[in-house]
């Protein structure tokens, strides 16, 4: 099993599990839970592959589908609703890190420019969570708090920079993933976020 394949399987399972639990928390039926889990887990990688002109991996790899089914099965069997607990947050952050590196890594394998690799790392990581929140009628976390996009961007930049300097792939993966995790947890702990647009009323 290649590193890229392993990263895709891990991120698929984690995002599917988080998606299924969020959907369960919103009271969706079994079909809705399965659908949200699938969208949350494969949409980022699918968009990445489409942009690269490659067939989505879930079409040719049954293990991806098996990862989604396993995540849904675990959610339905244990019937545990977490209300975005620490465990969900940790899993989602881990999935974010893995997906970021997976997206950037495939971009390099397809001879994409360093800038394109950074952007594809971010796209792979954040698309599923954005669609998950929209489907569950939750204000997308990506757009207003926790610096999810920023965390993914920083991790992708670290990974790509190390790759460009021909640092060991293992080291690049570890440091890039750690950058995602550290950035997100620091932003949550200290309540850091990007500046928000503020309307100013001009008096006469």
Is the residue at 130 inside a domain? yes
- Flag whether pLDDT at 202 surpasses 70: no
pLDDT of residue 80: 58
How many structural domains compose the chain?
1
The alpha-helical segments, DSSP class H, found in 79-147 are: 86-109, 114-135, 141-144
pLDDT of residue 83: 53
Is the residue at 36 inside a domain? yes
Is the residue at 63 inside a domain? yes
What residues make up the domain containing 132? 3-189
Is the residue at 127 inside a domain? yes
Is the residue at 202 inside a domain? no
Give the residue, 58 or 195, on which the prediction is more confident: 58
Instruction: Yes or no: say if 77 and 31 are a contact pair by the CB < 8 Å rule.
Output: no
For 155-169, the pLDDT digits (tens) are 999 999 999 998 998
Q: What is the phi/psi pair of residue 83, to 5°?
A: 50, 50
**Structure token digits, residue 25:** 């928390």
- Flag whether pLDDT at 203 surpasses 60: no
Is the residue at 197 inside a domain? no
Q: What sign has the CA pseudo-torsion 75, 77, 78, 81? A: positive
Is the residue at 94 inside a domain? yes
Give the residue, 170 or 143, on which the prediction is more confident: 170
pTM higher than the cut 0.95: no
Q: Quick one: pLDDT band at residue 31, thresholds 50, 70, 90? A: very high
Is the residue at 203 inside a domain? no
Q: What's the mean per-residue pLDDT of the chain? A: 89
């Amino acid at each position: 099993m290649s590193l890229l394949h392993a990263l895709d399987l891990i991120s698929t399972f984690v995002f599917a599990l988080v998606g299924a639990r969020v959907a369960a928390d919103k009271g969706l039926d079994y079909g809705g839970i399965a659908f949200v889990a699938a969208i949350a887990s494969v949409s980022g990688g699918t968009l990445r592959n489409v942009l690269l002109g490659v067939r989505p991996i879930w079409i040719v790899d049954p293990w991806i589908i098996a990862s989604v089914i396993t995540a849904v099965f675990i959610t339905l069997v244990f019937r545990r609703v977490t209300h975005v607990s620490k465990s969900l947050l940790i899993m989602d952050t881990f999935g974010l890190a893995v997906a970021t590196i997976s997206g950037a890594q495939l971009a390099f394998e397809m001879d994409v420019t360093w800038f394109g690799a950074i952007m594809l790392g971010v796209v792979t990581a954040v698309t599923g969570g954005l669609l998950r929140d929209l489907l569950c009628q939750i204000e997308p976390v990506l757009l207003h708090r926790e610096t999810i996009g920023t965390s993914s961007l920083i991790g992708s930049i670290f990974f790509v920079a190390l790759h460009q300097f021909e640092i060991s792939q293992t080291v690049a993966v570890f440091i890039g993933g750690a950058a995602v995790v550290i950035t997100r947890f620091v932003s949550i702990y200290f309540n850091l976020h990007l500046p928000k647009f503020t309307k100013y009323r001009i008096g006469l």
